[in-house]
Amino acid sequence: MSDDTDTGMVYLVGSGPGDPSLLTVKAKELLDTADVVLHDKLPGPAIIESIPESKREDVGKRAGGERTPQEYTNDRLVELAKAGRTVVRLKGGDPFVFGRGGEEMEHLATAGVPFEVVPGITSAIGGPGVAGIPVTHREHASSVSFVTGHEDPTKDESAIDWEALAATGGTIVVLMGVGKLPAYTAELQDAGMDPETPIALIEQATRPSMQVAVGTLDTAVDIRDEVGIEPPAITVIGEVATTRERVCQWIDQTQHHHFEQIETQDQS
Ligand code: SAH
């Protein structure tokens, strides 16, 4: 039982890309012991449904498709902690990669609520990884940039300098980049990037419904539509995307095995 006079604790926890066995040991322990888990949809059904419904609070999209305001989530975290609860704020991937974890942490600090950060495997690295694509490679890319394809619509100008990114010669990993794919693949080509530059799109990485599509900067939009890639998906741009075809045989075998395991778990 929690003592209401004592402030509780908030854990900002990354869930990894969706396969429950990729939760960290600490994340799993906290999900088992926390009083309340605030989450959105990104951790995915396998992880969310493993948490008892009585301690789940969905702070993602509300009925009608509207996003829960960030202020609500911030205030709810403080309110629960001040009532003595142990709270997990569960976020897909890593809490600090395009996840607003930074904002929430600052809010907790300002409110005087104790918190701890529990990193997770980000889909930006692990997503390409399970598809057989290393984000860096000694022969292909010695740098990697992580960018959002979906910027704050209230910003007047794009904060992303695609021309500068093209000039790095390294890998570009785009998150939230399914809808805006036509815009940024065009910008990169305008910036002088070779239209033959390899691209891979990885949807639902590490989940049973994972899909991968491979093409070039020039064909990216066509392959997205042909394969039917939908969010959540990662876009990888750069030579590293060709690694997949050299290891595909092994990757597909492993994934098959892995999906069977998940299905077996679901039945139990
Ligand atoms: N904090 C998260 C990213 C949040 S932004 C992380 O570290 O992974 C949301 C975006 O993450 C999605 O639009 C998509 O681009 C990416 N994403 C998250 N999980 C994914 C998954 N399992 N497969 C592919 N992309 C994923």
Instruction: Tell me the per-residue pLDDT of 196-212, one tens digit each, with 9 for 90 and over.
Output: 999 999 999 999 999 99
Domains of the chain: 9-121 (3.40.1010.10), 124-253 (3.30.950.10)
Q: What is the mean pLDDT of residues 132-156?
A: 87
| Predicted local confidence at residue 252, as pLDDT | 64
Q: pLDDT, tens digit, for every residue of 239-255?
A: 999 999 889 877 765 55
Task: Provide the pairing of β-strand 171-175 with 115-118.
Answer: unpaired
| Predicted local confidence at residue 154, as pLDDT | 63
User: What own/partner pairs with CB < 8 Å and gap ≥ 24 does 166-170 have?
Assistant: 166/191, 166/192, 166/193, 167/191, 168/143, 169/141, 169/143, 170/136, 170/141, 170/142, 170/143, 170/144, 170/145, 170/238
DSSP character at residue 62:
P
Return the active site residues: 40, 61, 176
| Predicted local confidence at residue 255, as pLDDT | 57
* Residue with CA closest to ligand 1 atom 13: 176
| Predicted local confidence at residue 144, as pLDDT | 98
Is the distance from the beta carbon of residue 119 to the nearest atom of ligand 1 less than 6 Å? no
Is the distance from the beta carbon of residue 98 to the nearest atom of ligand 1 less than 6 Å? yes
SS3 173: strand
- For residue 98, how many other CB atoms are within 10 A of its CB? 19
| Predicted local confidence at residue 157, as pLDDT | 66
Q: What is the mean pLDDT of residues 35-58?
A: 97
pTM of the model: 0.91
Higher pLDDT, 253 or 112: 112
- Tokens linked to 8: 């509780």
Q: What is the mean pLDDT of residues 81-85?
A: 97
| Predicted local confidence at residue 2, as pLDDT | 47
| Predicted local confidence at residue 41, as pLDDT | 95
Instruction: Answer for the pair 177, 184: CB distance below 8 angstroms, yes or no.
Output: yes
Packing angle of the helix pair 101-111, 70-82 (nearest 10 deg): 40
Question: Distance, CA 25 to ligand 1 centroid (Å)?
Answer: 21
Question: Distance, CA 215 to ligand 1 centroid (Å)?
Answer: 20
* Residue with CA closest to ligand 1 atom 24: 233
Question: Distance, CA 176 to ligand 1 centroid (Å)?
Answer: 7
